[in-house]
Structure 1
Amino acid sequence: MSTTESLGLTPRIWAVGALCRAVADALEARFNPIAVRGEISGFTRAASGHCYFTLKDAGGQLRCAMFKRAAQMLDFRPADGELVEIRGRLGVYEPRGELQLIVENMRRAGQGAWFEQFLQLKAKLEAEGLFDAERKRPLKTMPRGIGVVTSLGAAALHDVATALQRRVPHIPVVLAPSLVQGPDAPPTLVQALQQLSQQPNIDVILLVRGGGSMEDLWAFNDENLARAIVDSPVPIISGVGHETDFTIADFCADLRAPTPTAAAEMCAVPQAELLSNLQLWGGALQTLVHRHLDTHEQRLDRAQARLGRPSEGLNTEKMQLLRLQQRLTQAVQTRAQRCHNELATLASGLARGVQQTPATARERLHRAALRLELLDPKLVLQRGFAWLSDIDGQAITSVAQTTEGQALQATLADGVVELRVAAPTRI
């Protein structure tokens, strides 16, 4: 029997809402304002700007709400796993009867355990070069096949399959099922990646999972999985969680997508775009062919206009040949007549020359003999002149050629006289 019943008192019967308000008033009077420390989990930001998350530690957890005005005052971006100190007011969310902390102020208090492990592994792998952009491989725009690693029961599988069917229905898709949450997930993820990378005609692999808290996504922060992604011979696109979620797998992947659907959209060029490009290329090719045909047809028209009908061209050439033949005949006849006339003239002159040659030749010979006699030196000597020379027969024509006592010869018309120079005298 309860103490109330033993005292004969009837317990008050509360309305649910009134009881929630009473509890809220009691909390307000007993605890508020309150400061609490814990680790963020399941942080989300609504479209309204309000933020919702769970604050927890090893001993318990508390649902928290941070309205837009307080969220705008933050100087950092809260993330799952961070250890924070919160100031606010503890109350009851009456529609659900849940204990709720309305956050008025939040600041970092250090890194939570999960987040600390994440940062340590990230720093280690980054130092080894596993995140280097130079290491990452380019994706094929038209892969022969697409591999998908996710859970069979995950909503991400439905989203990826829908996106691939809509965008690239012509590309085959191979699924390698795996766990995506819990301590057994990393080995199955590694096995699934290795299985797909060994299959022929798989040119890209999608590693996908829906959103969740840091604990939910922790399998994608496994070191063995990170090294399997880097060692994969096939490029990998990671699509883990929401746009604000980052895992080690995202840093190691060749390409990170903000969501699973985005990963499916980024793995290949859509069929519609390829068909559109093909149609554009086909149209451009058809236009080019027509343009070439038009150009050659115009050239053919011009050539045909210049050529005309072959029979007309042949008749024209025949007429030209006849004209040339007539001109040639006339030229030959004219030339033959001219040669005939010249030959007749030469024959007549030759006949006259033959008749006149003996008498003319005798006359010319007589005149030449007379001129020759006039040039005979003896005729000059007969007129009283003499030819003076030295004893060697060299002609003496100047006083300067003689010396006193020199012996000379004087040739006269009838003989030679021996002389000696007495004394040369110039006139």
Structure 2
Amino acid sequence: MSTNNRNILTVSRLNAEVRLCLERDIGIVWLSGEISNFTAAVSGHWYLSLKDNQSQVKCAMFRGNNRRVTFKPKNGDQVLVRARVSLYEPRGDYQLILESMQPEGDGRLQQEFEQRKQALAAEGLFAQSEKKPLPAQPRRIGIITSKTGAALHDILHVLKRRDPSLPVVIYPTLVQGRDAAVSIAQAIGRANSRAECDVLIVGRGGGSLEDLWCFNEEIVARTIAASTIPIVSAVGHEVDVTIADFVADMRAPTPSAAAELVSRDLSYRLQQYQQREQALSRAMADVLYRQQRHLTQLSHRLSHQHPRTRLQQQSQRLDELQRRMQQAMMTKIRRAQAQCSQLDGRLQRATPIHTIHRQQGHVSQLEQRINHAMDAHLQHAQQRLHTLMATLDAVSPLATLTRGYSITRTDDGKVVTQTEQLSVGQTLHTHLREGDITSTVTALTPASVSPAQD
């Protein structure tokens, strides 16, 4: 079977194609799981795995994204992440590139909030054209909140201070818990059926996202949208935002501010200005929201072709090579230490100190033998000297001199042995055993043969 060379891919080309498929076809996902194998690299990037009871997936969160995480992740944390499905090409590992991370509880509520907000906005519930204007001079104000909450006290205190003659109708309701959303919707429906108020204030005091969740429920949003009476949303503090705020005809940052908005001592022009300001803010928020979504889409498209993706992979590869280099260095150091220990042991076993001690003992023995030999040789030399001295003394002329003989020499030092060597008047020097004699020759008598004995 023949194979067309053009159909043969390299491993690098295959991994690149798979990465593009994953990023293009799957793209951004939301994922919940437990953190394990968490590592913060020196480059600032995070590497971890997300797992459940049956599976796990490797993840990387680069420094630019993890700076926005408001808590310190650790192994065992349950989190909700927003991630881009990708592939680490050098190893062919399927992985997620994390863009955001939240604790799972808060993250799930925030995700549900965003999803519900987008769905209701798509239906037009937030449209400015659906907003009803607040009455310039309300005849009666309805308040939908808890009868025991601080919000009711704040609203009544402001209304009493600004216009004590303004009638108020309270529609008590639950503002927290599982049944709160239904209770709020029923209170709004009851106020509309009785049609005794010109404007309604719906709200409560501040709290966590979970505490305010009933004002994010769909039943509350649709009931507010269906109300024929204008509604001012006054939920929480200024930083708290709920879906009720987007659906209501006007949003007040606090319950007290809602009372300020509907109070009669506000001039019509100021109220109209505030309404227009609110409308403009909502319109701007809506435009910004659409532009943000468009920007996010463009950013995702750009990220597929942006060199940052390649840089992130190279940075991840650099972290991996650095870990491998550190492991190799530690292995080499351990081997060198083991080799040093072995060489040290061999050196200790082969040290010359023991040989030196043995040689020093041998040198001491040789030194003793040399001393003994020298003493013996010296004694033998002394004995031989004494013998030679005795022999020399026996033949020495000094011994002859001791027996009464003498030695006579001429001026030039020659020993006189016969008269033929001398002449009359010649000076002679005679050496005795003790002392010397200087004499002059006055007469010479040649030696004669001794007469024969009869």
TM range (shorter): 0.3 to 0.5
TM-score, normalised to structure 2, is 0.37
Q: Larger C-alpha radius of gyration, 1 or 2?
A: 1
TM-score, normalised to structure 1, is 0.40
